[in-house]
Amino acid sequence: MKTKLIIALLVLNFNSFAQPAGDLDPSFGIGGKVVTSIGAGEDKAYGVVIQDDNKIIVAGYSYSLDTGNDFVLVRYEEDGTLDASFGVGGIVKTDVQLGSDDRAYDLALQADGKIVVAGSSDNGIDRDAALVRYNADGTIDESFGVAGVVLTDFEDGKSDEIRVVKIHALTGNIIVGGSAVISTTKSKPVVARYLINGDLDLSFESDGIRLLWIDPLDYQYLFSVEDLVVQSSGKITAVGWRDYPDISWSSDYWAGRINSDGTMDVTFATDGVNHYNGAFNANDKAYSMILNPDNSFHFSGGGHVSTLKYDFTLFSITNTGSVGPGAGLADYGEFLNDVSYSVAKDLDGSFVMAGSTGDLTYKDFAISKLTPSFSLDSDFGTGGKVTTSFGTSDFNEAFDMLIQLDNKIVAVGYSGNDFALARYLGVDSPELDGFTLQTPTNLAINQNYASLAFNWTDAFGASTYEFILDVSPDFDVAPITLNPAASAQTITDLEPSQEYFWKVKASDGVVWGEYSDTWSFTTNSLENFNLVSPTNGASGVDLTDLILDWSTAIGADEYEVQIDTDAAFGDAPLIYSTSGTNYTLSGLDPETTYYWRVRASNDGVTFGDWTSTWHFETTSDLSIKSVENNNLKLEIYPNPVSGKFNLNVSEKLIGSNYSIVDITGKVVDKGTINSENSLVYFDFSPGYYILQIENNPLLSTGFTNQ
């Protein structure tokens, strides 16, 4: 026997990336979970198979006051509901020996649909290895063993149990692995082979049983075979663990290979058996394996890796039994015990492990996914890991797992005292109908007809969308159909004052989802804007660089302005074009009434209607503006001014406060008059202003700043 030290543990990065792979499958049970209470006592599921029709069969045991623990089979429909055509309401219970303590740990599905369940049955003195075969409808197969039951003493006087059962596809032989327990500190690993009728296969190690104490010192250990794979040639590769009970943290991963006749395969090791140490001789136990076509294999389980708590572990072993190049782990927390009880490869060649994580106060289902290069798959769950509790108990563990043909992951175990199942999405599952329209909002008005952005939420898994727009809610007039790759689309050159309808559907490149709801919106009108300044009827308007201003017509890219001294615009009106919402006039005549209006265009060819007509009166062209009121003089010169002006007032106004306001009425400056003639400096924007004596509102004068 050879001892091999495993040192090739990978350092893994845990990157979180939220996505549906790893999410519970909402089409299964209630939110991806199923809990089944079988009896008033403890119910635990340990094994799972999936039939060709996608029905799920789970094996375990259930306790009752009358018969103690019994074998239990439960069959579920693909959606997680109990299959009423199987047993009684989907459930089959078997008291293997009258009133015996019976525990099923695994099951296998034969090619003819019959179900072989394996475990142990207490005969009142010790445990027997137990096999029970059922017909496809859940009834006992009376042609198997004695009335459907096979009981085996792997070694006389020992307590025997089966932990794994497999069917050899070519012969139909039944191969099991487990242990023959001598005491709480000693046991022998066992592999046995049965014929299809339940008889031990005497061509295998002469009595059908291969006890795997190989080394003279094996009597010191507690052993168990936890999983095995049968090659087409009949060779059997088995994995499990050995534990030296007198030393803490002393379990080793264990593996052996047996020839089809029951002899040990010396090409795997000099005696056909190897054990492997994990990190610093800690507790390391293998519970599941995958055999590769070249006879190398991977095993998973739990081990003390970086802390004194267990982590999920995965190792590669070559076809000659040496440690392979690949190793990975999943750590759910520094102070948590994480144990993988099952491993499988998905359709992409990634490794999926199922088990539990927790401490003395709780345990949860734990599922992890590693890439073919043994790093945690960041596209699965949170950093490659998923945990699940069922709400019925603080204690939930998964003991077995299978991957469906659609890459969904079915894990089984228990929650509290009940069978528990969970199904997860193994890969991203497109949600082609799971999106909503966003903008423009439904029934929106005054939308930009020149360029309008449409947005909707992402449909998960979508690679393209179909966007359709029309003036008809039936999309049968002149629909615009586009296929954007992202959840957005911009449309230009729509018609103003028009109601439009739009909808979207998503595709993953193969399948199209349903159309979204139909939303509508109305584009803005070319006439939907207003004149702003000079205000209608304004007088004394500065005639130097006068600014005409109006609000924005949404969607317009050009405006046409008309100004004339004739209200009917028949006296040679001035016509200006601009892309902005204002226009600066010059060369106007003083003390003249002008009329003006504006219209909008979105193409420079088609124009909307004219706005209503406004008018204003320009100021006189005086170099000095003055106001005489009650023999008080107030003059500003020169006018227009540029950054400063002379203020000439009557003597009676000396000491008065003044304020300067703009055309909006905002006070932009204040001061005190200190002499009859003074020079006032300021920093104003160009425009028209009014200087007003604060204690005499009637005394004011206007000026223009250039």
The CATH number of residue 654's host domain is: 2.60.40.3080
pLDDT category, 3, cuts 50, 70, 90?
A: very low
- Phi and psi at 279, nearest 5°, equal -70, 140
What is the pLDDT confidence band of residue 696, given thresholds at 50, 70 and 90? Answer: low
Considering the domain architecture, whether residues 639 and 614 belong to the same structural domain is answered as no
Q: Where are any strands of DSSP class E within 78-170? A: 91-94, 102-109, 115-122, 127-134, 149-152, 159-167
Q: Please indicate, yes or no, whether residues 609 and 632 belong to a single structural domain of this protein.
A: no
Residue whose C-alpha is closest to residue 403's, from 30, 54, 44, 7? 54
Burial of 607 (0-12, 13-18, 19+ CB in 10 A): middle
pLDDT greater at residue 304 or residue 74: 74
268: in domain: no
Average pLDDT over residues 592-620: 92
Judge whether residue 246 has pLDDT over 80.
no
What is the pLDDT at residue 638?
83
Can you tell me the distance from the alpha carbon of 600 to that of 200, in angstroms, rounded to the nearest whole number?
Answer: 96
274 burial type by CB count under 10 A (0-12 exposed, 13-18 middle, 19+ buried): buried
Q: Are residues 614 and 668 in the same domain?
A: no
Same domain, 508 and 468: yes
Is 8 or 35 the better-scoring residue by pLDDT?
Answer: 35
Q: What is the mean pLDDT of residues 35-54?
A: 95
Q: Beginning with the edge strand found earlier in the chain, give each strand of the sheet holding 437-439 in spatial order.
A: 437-439, 451-456, 488-492
Report the distance separating Cα 255 and Cα 241, nearest Å.
Answer: 8
Task: Mean pLDDT check: name the lowest of 121-125, 303-307, 349-353.
Answer: 303-307
Which DSSP string do the residues of 545-598 spell out, in sequence order?
SEEEEE---TT--EEEEEEESSTTS-S--EEEEESSSEEEE-SPPTT-EEEEEE
474 and 491 co-located in one domain:
yes
pLDDT in tens, 257-291: 999 999 999 999 999 999 998 654 568 899 999 99
Residues 494 and 565 occupy one common structural domain: no
Boundary-marking domain end, from 496, 523, 550 = 523
460-492: pLDDT as tens digits: 889 999 999 999 999 999 999 999 999 999 999
Q: Let me know if residue 83 belongs to a domain.
A: no
CATH number of the domain encompassing residue 495: 2.60.40.10
Domain assignment present for residue 200? The answer is: no
- Assign 306 a pLDDT band (cuts: 50, 70, 90): low
Q: Quick one: 641 and 607 in the same domain?
A: no
Looking at residue 1, its pLDDT comes to 39
* In a domain? residue 661: yes
Checking if the pLDDT of 18 tops 50, the result is: no
**Band of the pLDDT at 620, cuts 50, 70, 90?**
confident
- Looking at residue 53, the DSSP 8-state letter turns out to be T
Residue 678 lies in a domain: yes
Is the confidence at residue 10, as pLDDT, over 90? Answer: no
**Residue 3 CB burial class (10 angstroms; 0-12, 13-18, ≥19):** exposed
- Regarding whether 545 and 516 lie in a shared domain, the answer is no
Of 618, 638, 661, the domain-final residue: 618
Residue 202, in any domain of the structure: no
Per-residue confidence band for 11, with pLDDT thresholds at 50, 70 and 90 = very low
Computed on alpha carbons and rounded to an integer, the radius of gyration of the chain in Å comes to: 44
Q: Is the pLDDT of residue 385 over 60?
A: yes
If one counts the domains in the chain, the total is 3
Contact by Cβ (8 Å): 684, 646:
no
pLDDT at residue 281, as a whole number: 53
Query: Is 205 inside a domain boundary?
Result: no
**Is residue 599 situated within a structural domain?**
yes
Return d(Cα 590, Cα 640) in angstroms, integer.
13
For residues 296-302, give the mean pLDDT.
95
Residue numbers of the domain that contains 679: 625-705
Q: Does residue 17 or residue 112 have the better pLDDT? A: 112
Q: Count CB-CB contacts under 10 A for residue 111.
A: 8
**Tens-place pLDDT, residues 391-438:** 889 999 999 999 999 899 999 999 999 999 999 998 776 788 889 999
Task: Tell whether 515 and 535 lie within a shared domain.
Answer: no
Please check whether residues 586 and 637 belong to one and the same domain: no
Cβ atoms of residues 652 and 634 within 8 Å: no
pTM of the model: 0.67
| Dihedral angle of Cα 239, 240, 246, 247, to the nearest 10 degrees | 80
Candidate from 138-147, 325-334, 404-413 with smallest mean pLDDT: 325-334
Query: Same structural domain for residues 603 and 646?
Result: no
Q: Is 646 exposed, middle or buried (0-12, 13-18, 19+ CB in 10 A)?
A: middle
Q: 153-157, 165-169, 619-623: which range is least confident on average?
A: 619-623
Q: Look at residues 559, 532, 569, 572 and name the one whose alpha carbon lies nearest to residue 548.
A: 532
Residue for token pair 């497109």: 430
Q: What does the alpha-carbon distance between residue 168 and residue 174 come to, in Å, rounded to a whole number?
A: 6
In this structure, the answer to whether residues 519 and 581 fall within a common structural domain is no
Distances (CA, A) of 459 to 234, 378, 504: 49, 21, 11
Q: Is the pLDDT of residue 126 over 50?
A: yes
The 10s digit of each residue's pLDDT in 67-104 is 999 999 999 999 999 999 999 999 999 999 999 999 99
Confidence bin at 630 (pLDDT 50/70/90): low
Q: For the chain, what percent of residues have pLDDT higher than 70? A: 93
Give the C-alpha separation, 288 to 299, whole Å. 6
Closest CA relative to residue 625, chosen from 640, 614, 636, 615: 636
pLDDT range class, residue 626, cuts 50, 70, 90: very low
Which pLDDT score, from 0 to 100, does residue 247 have?
73
Could you tell me which residues are beta bridge partners of residue 366? 355, 387
State the pLDDT confidence band at 305, using cuts at 50, 70 and 90: low
Domain boundary among 574, 600, 618: 618
Worst-scoring range by mean pLDDT, 146-160, 217-231, 234-248? 234-248
- Among 339-348, 357-366, 689-698, the range scoring the smallest mean pLDDT is 689-698
The confidence score (pLDDT) of residue 697 equals 58
